[in-house]
């Protein structure tokens, strides 16, 4: 999808039309948010389509400014579509005293007038479903089936094992083969970094029948999970490895590392990238917008 923010506006459930939002930056770094065509949004239901990644903190402020503006202009309702929801991995407390960050994000969105959030493969939701978290209705869609059918077509023969690198991503495969991943404790929190390294990743309990394996996960961030999983499969003699994920964040040089070790890394355009598969706009048109208009 495009990294641009836009809003869709609809009156009385009629087909929506698009209204542009313009962001600019003041010399001191403050963000400026503008809708030029204000009459177009009067008394309308609004769906904001906005990317929250990269630069998630900055992108959140942009979203909050837009929600504030729509509130001031008295629109009828506001829903938001963010294809990738950052902070969703901070959905529980691993050590005492740390913030459950996604709860704060949900609380802020609710208090800013967002009634429903549409997203894809939200980390804590595990499949197409709806939850209410801190007053915010989150409607989650899964790209797992699309990723897998794309891989099957691409590979072109039935001799494939489809695995997830951890139990949390098993829902994406539609099967029951997942590796066991164990994260360690936080390293270096005092130095300003927070990361829990992978302590172990095992697949001995899984029978692998073919020499082509597709590893399916919700996301690649540092690439550490996939790199451990690939190493594990190589040690078992698997020749052809594909990675398929919904969200490709590709921190540092992990995209290049994965490209060197796999047949292909396949990912959707919930985060924009030149090699991303264009899934989001189709899902918006066929799933999200019809759902929003039914409300």
Give me the least distance between CB of 254 and ligand R5P, in Å please: 7
Give me the least distance between CB of 117 and ligand R5P, in Å please: 20
45-49/114-120 β-pairing: unpaired
- By beta-carbon proximity to ligand R5P, the closer residue of 6 and 195 is 195
Choice from 147, 162, 219, 238 touching ligand R5P (CB under 6 A): 219
223 contributes a contact to ligand R5P by CB under 6 A: yes
CA nearest neighbour of 168 among 151, 153, 180, 185: 180
- By beta-carbon proximity to ligand R5P, the closer residue of 218 and 269 is 218
Please give the helix or strand (H or E) that residue 147 lies within, else none. helix 144-155
Q: Could you give the string, one character per residue 12-51, with x where binding to ligand R5P holds by CB under 6 A and - elsewhere?
A: ----------------------------------------
214 contributes a contact to ligand R5P by CB under 6 A: no
Cα Dmax for the chain: 63
Number of residues that bind ligand R5P (CB under 6 A): 14
Give me the least distance between CB of 249 and ligand R5P, in Å please: 7
C-alpha distances in Å from residue 67, one per residue of 16, 34, 255, 289: 18, 11, 34, 19
Give me the least distance between CB of 168 and ligand R5P, in Å please: 5
Give me the least distance between CB of 247 and ligand R5P, in Å please: 9
- By beta-carbon proximity to ligand R5P, the closer residue of 51 and 221 is 221
Give me the least distance between CB of 265 and ligand R5P, in Å please: 11
Q: Distance between terminal CA atoms of the chain? A: 24
Instruction: Name the one range near ligand R5P by CB under 6 A: 7-15, 29-37, 222-230, 286-294.
Output: 222-230
Q: Could you give the string, one character per residue 132-171, with x where binding to ligand R5P holds by CB under 6 A and - elsewhere?
A: ---------------------------------xx-xx--
CA distance 229 to 70: 45
- By beta-carbon proximity to ligand R5P, the closer residue of 45 and 121 is 121
Query: Contacts with ligand R5P in 80-139 (CB under 6 A)?
Result: 89
Q: In the block, which residue shows the tokens 């899934």?
A: 279
Please give the helix or strand (H or E) that residue 67 lies within, else none. helix 56-72
- Contacts by residues 286-290 (CB-CB < 8 Å, ≥ 24 positions apart): 287/141, 288/47, 288/81, 288/118, 288/139, 288/141, 289/8, 289/16, 289/47
For residue 253, whether the previous peptide bond is cis, meaning omega lies within 30 degrees of 0, is no
Give me the least distance between CB of 232 and ligand R5P, in Å please: 13
> 254-261 and 224-235 helices cross at what angle (nearest 10)?
20
Residues near ligand R5P, by CB under 6 A: 89, 165-166, 168-169, 217-225
């Amino acid at each position: 999808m495009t990294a641009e923010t836009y809003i869709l506006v609809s009156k009385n459930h009629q087909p929506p039309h698009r209204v542009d939002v313009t962001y600019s930056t003041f010399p001191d770094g403050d963000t400026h948010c503008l809708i030029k065509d204000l009459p177009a949004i009067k008394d309308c239901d609004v769906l904001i389509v906005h990317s929250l990644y990269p630069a998630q903190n900055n992108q959140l402020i942009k979203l909050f400014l837009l929600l504030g503006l729509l509130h001031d202009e008295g629109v009828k309702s506001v829903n938001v579509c963010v294809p990738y929801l950052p902070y969703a991995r901070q959905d529980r407390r691993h050590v005492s005293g740390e913030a459950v960050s996604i709860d704060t994000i949900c609380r802020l969105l609710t208090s800013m007038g967002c009634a429903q959030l549409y997203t894809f493969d939200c980390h804590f939701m595990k499949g197409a479903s709806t939850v209410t978290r801190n007053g915010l209705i989150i409607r989650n869609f899964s790209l797992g089936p699309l990723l897998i059918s794309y891989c099957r077509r691409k590979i072109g023969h039935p001799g494939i094992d489809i695995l997830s690198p951890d139990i949390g991503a098993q829902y994406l495969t539609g099967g029951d083969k997942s590796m066991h991943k164990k994260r360690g404790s936080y390293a270096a929190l005092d130095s300003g970094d927070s990361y829990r390294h992978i302590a172990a990743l095992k697949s001995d309990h899984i029978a692998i029948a073919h020499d082509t394996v597709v590893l399916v996960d919700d996301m690649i961030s540092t690439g550490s999970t996939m790199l451990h999983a690939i190493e594990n499969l190589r040690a078992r003699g698997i020749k052809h490895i594909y990675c398929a994920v919904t969200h490709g964040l590709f921190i540092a040089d992990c995209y290049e590392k994965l490209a060197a070790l796999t047949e292909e890394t396949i990912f959707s355009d919930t985060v924009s990238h030149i090699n991303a598969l264009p899934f989001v706009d189709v899902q918006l048109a066929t799933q999200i917008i019809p759902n929003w208009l039914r409300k």
